[in-house]
A and B are shown apart, each in its own frame.
Chain A
Amino acid sequence: MSDTTRTMTLHVAVLAGLLALQFVLPAYHHGNLARVMVLASYAMGYNILFGYTGLLSLGHALFFAAGMYGMGLAVQHLGAGPLPALGAGLAAGVAVSAALGALALRTAGVAFMIVTLMFAQAGYLTVLYFGTWTRGDEGFVIAQAQRVLWGLDLSDPANRYFAALALFAACLLSVLWLVHSRFGRVLVAIRENEERTRMLGYDVFAHKLAAVILSGAMSALAGACYGLLFGYVGATFASVQYSIFPLLWVLLGGAGTVLGPLIGTLFMFYLIDLSSQVTTAYMLIAGVVLVALTLFAPQGLAGEVRARLWRWLP
């Protein structure tokens, strides 16, 4: 089997597996998995910038929230239907990431991390400041009647699962295409050796900016879908916590791998879920497991699989 065939087989099998799970999972895990797929889409967006381009952002909550509020405010105040609302979320994500990229990419390394963090904090405070429209910390609910797309009620668990899977599949296939494209390979080259890439004649700034926008757009789409599928928009999703989550998920699952974000999100979700059933000090268990993983699998779960078993894993 050629590497391309293997890659396609594996990823299509993962998608088919997720589709099949819809019919067998008990209600509780069924709901969880829908949530995980949307969050994993967010993590995949983060991974484009962090895993493939080598830019560590601490402000992705800004993009997630831009999508969520772009969608939510359009529904709440403009009476938009789900599809135009998702479009508004995506557009908000593209606009915000283009503006942030143009400014933050003037810096590099630690300065880039701090600038993205600060912009995200400014975004969070903006949400609180305009509390009249955003309802601040309290947030607002998107009514069931406003969540009907093409006659499908997205608040229904089965429909919601399919919608989450559709989003996840679209993001997964986009990333898969990206890493094999000329553009994606230049991003990896920038991650590996920026100066060399410049001296091969590539416009490094333009490529990085495009990566920020692509990453921001995918994160925003995930944010918009999250609000629409689970019916709630709130300022928590703009807080620093939601900037750290995708970093953790991607690190655990494997930065710069296509399946890493899904594995990391799933792992972390159930780690917290299971340990909280055992003890109230569940964050302690989660912490110990995270430390162990960073010590023994520094490349993340999918990263270790690639290093030890499947060298062809994209």
Chain B
Amino acid sequence: MSLLSTSGLSRHFAGLKAVEGVDFDLPEGQIRALIGPNGAGKTTFVGLLCGRIAPSAGRVIFGGRDISHLPAHRRINLGMAYTFQITSVFARLSVAENVALAARRRLRGRVRVDRAVRSALDRVGLGAFPRQDAGDLSYGHQRLLEIAMGLVQEPRLLILDEPTQGLADSEIADFKALIRDVSATATILLIEHNMSVVMETADMVTVMNFGRILAEGTPAEIHADPAVQTAYLGTG
């Protein structure tokens, strides 16, 4: 069953067609990678999905419901979670409070929140620094904190915008395992530049270029697609 779909979704910025007529379908339980050259419209597209950006045209359906006109916070409450491409944690609050803020929308009671926070931090490997200010973490650890804030919401759909950017190789290996683990309970939409992550975790890959969907298929199919290779290499 499809968890999320869009039809004719478009967003124009003063004549620039950042996203143009995208028909997209994401079945429940899948790990979907969204790839494409820089400026292809990936971040704008997920911004349209979660309501950060208003569409110029088109519809977004989530869990069978038309959410095109819902504000972002209502969409999040329906079970979407979004992690920012540029880390956007609460720098002057503690690591635990960052995750607790994400947890409290769904959970009541200090004990339950604390338990959820600890478990989310342990899952991403940040269990050792709950009381540190988030702004003092390394960039890679801030990325992991973003992911923990997504996980603790127990979303139906987890949207990750370039989550492995700035992570060390060992952390990327852990991240791949984490994604497979999370996919047992959530559908995942992953914007990713790291091809090893895409190839090893994604069930399906969607390629965007110039605001449109260029190709869709399994990682192996996409890998072999000449049109995708052209888009990435920029040769005719």
Structural contact, A196 and B77, CB atoms closer than 8 A? no
Min CB distance A195 to B, Å, is 7
Structural contact, A199 and B90, CB atoms closer than 8 A? no
The B-contacting residues of A in range 151-194, CB under 8 angstroms, are 182, 185-186, 188-189, 192-193
Stretch with Cβ within 8 A of A (4 or more), from B7-15, B19-27, B100-108? B100-108
Structural contact, B91 and A198, CB atoms closer than 8 A? no
Chain A residues, Cβ within 8 Å of B101? 185-186, 189, 197, 200
CA A25 to CA B73, docked complex, whole Å? 53
Known: A201-B105, A202-B105. Contact between A195 and B153, CB under 8 A? Answer: no
- Interface check B210, CB cutoff 8 A: no
- Interface check A210, CB cutoff 8 A: no
CA A186 to CA B73, docked complex, whole Å? 13
Min CB distance B69 to A, Å, is 16
Structural contact, B97 and A198, CB atoms closer than 8 A? no
Chain B residues, Cβ within 8 Å of A244? none
- Interface check B115, CB cutoff 8 A: no
- Interface check A102, CB cutoff 8 A: no
Known: A186-B101, A189-B101, A193-B88. Contact between A200 and B153, CB under 8 A? Answer: yes
CA A192 to CA B135, docked complex, whole Å? 12
Min CB distance A307 to B, Å, is 11
Known: A182-B104, A185-B101, A196-B84. Contact between A201 and B76, CB under 8 A? Answer: yes
- Interface check B199, CB cutoff 8 A: no
- Interface check B57, CB cutoff 8 A: no
Structural contact, B91 and A192, CB atoms closer than 8 A? yes
B84, B91, B92: the one contacting A199 at CB < 8 Å is B84
Query: Residue of B at shortest CB range from A183?
Result: B104
Min CB distance A283 to B, Å, is 35
Query: Residue of A at shortest CB range from B135?
Result: A192
Chain A residues, Cβ within 8 Å of B149? 200
A192, A193, A200: the one contacting B102 at CB < 8 Å is A200
Chain A residues, Cβ within 8 Å of B76? 199-201
Chain A residues, Cβ within 8 Å of B153? 200-201
Chain B: how many interface residues by the 8 Å CB criterion?
23
Min CB distance B115 to A, Å, is 16
Structural contact, A201 and B73, CB atoms closer than 8 A? yes
Interface string of A254-274 (1 = CB under 8 A from B): 000000000000000000000
- Interface check A138, CB cutoff 8 A: no
Chain A residues, Cβ within 8 Å of B45? none
Structural contact, B105 and A192, CB atoms closer than 8 A? no
Min CB distance B144 to A, Å, is 16
CA A21 to CA B113, docked complex, whole Å? 42
Min CB distance A224 to B, Å, is 34
Structural contact, B105 and A199, CB atoms closer than 8 A? no
A185, A193, A195: the one contacting B97 at CB < 8 Å is A185
- Interface check A204, CB cutoff 8 A: yes
CA A203 to CA B77, docked complex, whole Å? 10
Min CB distance B30 to A, Å, is 22
- Interface check B178, CB cutoff 8 A: no
Chain A residues, Cβ within 8 Å of B182? none
Structural contact, A192 and B72, CB atoms closer than 8 A? no
CA A222 to CA B88, docked complex, whole Å? 38
Chain B residues, Cβ within 8 Å of A186? 101, 104
CA A23 to CA B225, docked complex, whole Å? 87
CA A202 to CA B103, docked complex, whole Å? 11
CA A204 to CA B93, docked complex, whole Å? 18
- Interface check B52, CB cutoff 8 A: yes
Min CB distance A170 to B, Å, is 25
Min CB distance A256 to B, Å, is 10
List the 8 closest A-B pairs by CB distance, nearest first. A201-B76, A192-B90, A196-B88, A201-B77, A201-B105, A203-B73, A189-B101, A200-B102
Known contacts A195-B88, A199-B72, A199-B82, then 10 further A-B pairs from the complex at CB < 8 Å, ordered by chain A residue:
A182-B104, A185-B100, A195-B52, A196-B90, A197-B101, A198-B73, A200-B101, A200-B102, A200-B153, A203-B73
Q: Can you list 14 A-B pairs, Cβ within 8 angstroms, ordered by A?
A: A185-B100, A185-B101, A185-B104, A186-B101, A189-B90, A192-B93, A195-B88, A196-B90, A199-B50, A199-B76, A199-B84, A200-B105, A201-B76, A201-B105
Residues of A within 8 A of B (CB): 182, 185-186, 188-189, 192-193, 195-204
